[in-house]
Amino acid sequence: TELSKIRNFSIIAHIDHGKSTLADRLIQRTGGLAEREMSAQVLDNMEIEKERGITIKAQTVRLDWKGHVLNLMDTPGHVDFAYEVSRSLAACEGALLVVDAAQGVEAQTLANVYQSIEHDHEIVPVINKIDLPAAEPEKVRAEIEDVIGIDASQAVLASAKSGIGIDEILDAIVERIPAPTGDADAPLKAMLVDSWYDPYLGVVILVRVMAGTLKKGQQIKFMQAGTTHLIDRVGCFRPKIEQLNDLGVGEIGFITAQIKDVAQARVGDTLTDAKRPAAEALPGFKEVQPVVFCGLFPVDANDFEKLRESISKLRLNDASFSFEMETSAALGFGYRCGFLGLLHLEIIQERLTREYDLDLITTAPSVVYQIELTHGGGHIDLHNPADMPEPNKIETISEPWINATIYVPDEYLGSILKLCQDRRGIQKNLTYVGGRAQATYELPLNEVVFDFYDRLKSLSKGYASFDYHQIGYREGDLVKMGILVNEEPVDALSMIVHRSTAEVRGRGMVERLKELIPRHLFKIPIQAAIGGKVIARETISAMRKDVTAKCYGGDATRKRKLLDKQKKGKAKMREYGSVSIPQEAFIAALRMG
Ligand code: GTP
């Protein structure tokens, strides 16, 4: 395709503002799929994505419109996948900015728009859901101008659901978004935008050609990985696979090259011709590092082998999570896994449970701490609270901090500020735009990984939005808090906390465990301790003869649900000395109230 006829664009939208619905409409209108094939959303093609209504993996679709080729790049919609987003944006010249006509601009939208502007994108605002009775398109138009600072006078008013404004959007893409540029005769440079494992095709690699041409049968070199491969397929998605002979400069499409492991095809790498290589790789390559770690152990020790196989299979499709074997005195054999963030952790854990039918115990998620040992003993990166050295061996301990942007309607601002304060946040900025506040905070990542996002949502009835990036390590007064059940330490629940929040955390944890651990025939003390010092304590009283007694008192419905689940489960209890702890307790206990 001629360069002047190509348009590469992505869609920026806050969760639920209608990105997937709009993408499906564009595909339908340009003839990619017949009406009967539109039953399920096409771009969100993983089961969990559908259920949670979020986009996890980037996908791309080629559309034909009035003699032009439009490549729609779908981008992941969550902070955990920020690097993938940045590469998708680097592959485009413009973006549709979809804003819900009833909800207005949200923090995640802002972060992505600014990123898009940094990539010099032409931004086409689309005010979606104008069919809703609560829609206020003019207010939202003004908000886009005030808050984001771009011209919204030409914003397209649309309803992805009812099919209003779809042709106008397609025309606007052709008219307003610039064609890509690049030298067709230069040595090949193609950016690796995404990769995933397909059981039939092997590793599929999504690329944007920046210079030269990619051809079937070509020997290519991955400039960061240093490996060479023979391209055996070239093509695009419409959204069905269409095979092509080549991808010219400016084009987006996929290749396969008999690659077995996605870890070899890292997002951001540069593909070049092995025989006529480019002088230098494309800028912006970054090695993504897991930031949140936790242990995953099978409830039934006999499932360890199954867990090993399942994790290896999942890893085939996701190079961004890491795992290594771990043994725990209480939990036996398992894996210490690293994730890009808490959502990423939950997705992997859910897939292991659901697709591979495993009952798992998840230990307290932890960030990576940097420890300097005394007497020049060196430096360690601590991934697991269980490996924390004795306090007298620690010279300093540092934790990662983030810069968070929170966007919230005025009426909830007070409780959100308190939440940030409680989490050791340092306020950097606070501004108001049209009944909404934008707060910027520096926060320790450790205070955010547990339940910050959930708390933020519940305190604001779902209206607050949140975005963050890491800003480096800072020294802190951090200590290891252990949990003892019936005098036995439960290492899966031990965590590293700041001394100032230890007592609150400890009390929350023991109170929760008191609710979650069923009564036994004897009294069970539950304690939180730092070193040898107990900072919080609860006691589960002994069970009376009457077995139904445990259904009453406390939160009866929750306990009953718990009991129902226990009945269904096979061996969903973990024995700690003489105490049985239900599987749910491990995860639930970590959700601070
Ligand atoms: P993520 O994939 O999480 O980013 O969400 P999304 O932005 O793709 O949102 P999605 O397309 O899944 O739409 C969210 C909800 O809004 C769905 O229930 C849609 O049916 C609904 N929706 C989308 N567009 C419109 C619209 O124009 N009008 C109305 N009334 N509802 C819409």
Q: Answer whether residue 188 shows pLDDT above 90.
A: yes
Q: Is 128 in the pocket of ligand 1 (CB under 6 A)?
A: yes
**543 beta partners:** none
Task: Name the least confident of 49-58, 99-108, 383-392.
Answer: 49-58
What's the CA-to-centroid distance between 18 and ligand 1, angstroms? 3
Q: Is 566's pLDDT higher than 50? A: no
Q: Which of 24, 1, 51, 10 is nearest to 239 (CA)?
A: 24
Please tell me the predicted confidence (pLDDT) of residue 320. Answer: 83
Of the candidate ranges 91-105, 109-123, 218-232, 547-561, the one whose mean pLDDT is the lowest: 547-561
Ligand 1 pocket test, pick from 15, 16, 74, 88 with the greatest ligand atom count within 8 Å of Cβ, gives 16
Report the complex ipTM: 0.97
Closest residue (by CA) to atom 23 of ligand 1?
18
Looking at the DSSP assignment, which residues form a beta bridge with residue 125? 97
Highest mean pLDDT among 139-148, 422-431, 569-578: 422-431
Determine the pLDDT at residue 77: 59
Looking up tokens 């400890």 gives 506
* Token couple for 273: 């011709």
Task: Tell whether ligand 1 has an atom less than 6 A from the beta carbon of residue 15.
Answer: yes
Judged by average pLDDT, the poorest of 32-46, 175-189, 433-447, 530-544 is: 32-46
> Does the C-beta of 45 come closer than 6 Å to ligand 1?
no
Task: Check pLDDT > 90 for residue 558.
Answer: no
pLDDT at 572 over 60: no
- Looking at beta carbons, which pairs linking 350-353 to residues 24 or more positions away fall under 8 Å? 350/48, 351/48, 351/314, 352/296, 352/307, 352/310, 352/311, 352/314
Q: Which two structure tokens, joined as six digits, stand for 313?
A: 């299979």
Average pLDDT over residues 228-256: 93
Q: Are 292 and 342 in contact (CB under 8 A)?
A: yes
Name the residue of 20, 105, 156, 164 to mutate for ligand 1: max ligand atoms within 8 A of Cβ.
Answer: 20
Please name the residue whose Cα sits nearest to atom 29 of ligand 1.
Answer: 129
Per the annotation, binding residues for GTP are 16-21, 128-131
**pLDDT exceeds cutoff 70 at 410:** yes
Please name the residue whose Cα sits nearest to atom 19 of ligand 1.
18
| Residue 154 amino acid letter | Q
Report how far residue 146's alpha carbon sits from residue 142's, in angstroms, rounded to the nearest whole number.
6
Exposure string for 493-517, b = 16+ CB within 10 A, e = fewer: bbbbbbeebbeebbebbbbbbbbbb
Is the confidence at residue 129, as pLDDT, over 50? yes
Number of neighbouring beta carbons within 10 Å of residue 64: 12
Cβ of 53 less than 6 Å from ligand 1: yes
Provide the pLDDT for residue 37: 53
Range ranked top by mean pLDDT from 344-348, 359-363, 399-403, 486-490: 399-403
Tokens of 69: 């080729």
- For residues 220 and 52, the model is more confident at 220
CB 88 within 8 A of CB 58: yes
* Closest residue to atom 15 of ligand 1, CA basis: 16
Across the chain, what does the average pLDDT equal? 85
- Can you tell me which atom of ligand 1 is nearest the CA of 98? 7
Instruction: Determine the Cα–Cα distance for residues 102 and 364; give it in Å rounded to an integer.
Output: 38
pLDDT of residue 54: 42
Nearest protein CA to atom 5 of ligand 1, as residue: 16
* Nearest-CA residue for atom 14 of ligand 1: 16
Check if 97 has its Cβ closer than 6 Å to any atom of ligand 1.
no
Sheet containing 241-244: which strands, arranged edge to edge? 228-230, 219-222, 270-273, 189-198, 202-211, 252-256, 233-237, 241-244
Q: Annotated binding site, which residues?
A: 16-21, 128-131
| 46 within ligand 1 shell (Cβ under 6 A) | no
Q: Is the CB–ligand 1 distance for residue 55 below 6 Å? A: yes
DSSP at 16? T
- Average pLDDT in the 132-160 region? 93
**What's the 76 CA to ligand 1 centre distance in angstroms?**
15
With a 6 Å cutoff on the Cβ, whether 17 touches ligand 1 is yes
Is the CB of 225 inside a 6 Å radius of any atom of ligand 1? no
| Structure-token pair, residue 490 | 């439960």
- Residue whose Cα lies nearest atom 13 of ligand 1: it is 18
Nearest-angstrom CA–CA distance, 15 and 538: 41
Dihedral sign, CA of 32, 33, 38, 42? Answer: negative
Find out whether the beta carbon of 88 lies less than 6 Å from any atom of ligand 1.
no
The residue whose C-alpha atom lies closest to atom 26 belonging to ligand 1 is 129
Among 227, 367, 359, which Cα is nearest to 302's? 359
With cut-offs at 50, 70 and 90, classify the pLDDT of residue 172: very high
What pLDDT, on the 0 to 100 scale, is given for residue 569? 44
Residue range 512-524: mean pLDDT, rounded: 87
Best mean pLDDT range from 389-403, 461-475, 555-569: 389-403
> Residue 399 in 3-state DSSP?
strand
| DSSP-assigned letter for residue 164 | B
Q: Under a CB-based contact definition with an 8 Å cutoff, are residues 562 and 516 in contact? A: yes
18 lines ligand 1 (CB under 6 A): yes
Q: DSSP characters for 192-230?
A: EEEEEEETTTEEEEEEEEEES-EETT-EEEETTT--EEE
32 lines ligand 1 (CB under 6 A): no
Q: What is the pLDDT of residue 56?
A: 41
Nearest CA owner, ligand 1 atom 28: 129
Nearest atom (ligand 1) to Cα of 23: 11
pLDDT beyond 70 at 116: yes
What is the arithmetic mean of pLDDT over 232-258? 92
Counting from 1 in the atom list of ligand 1, the atom nearest the Cα of 13 is 7
pLDDT at 581: 78
- Does residue 52 have its Cβ closer than 6 Å to ligand 1? no
For range 363-372, the mean pLDDT: 90
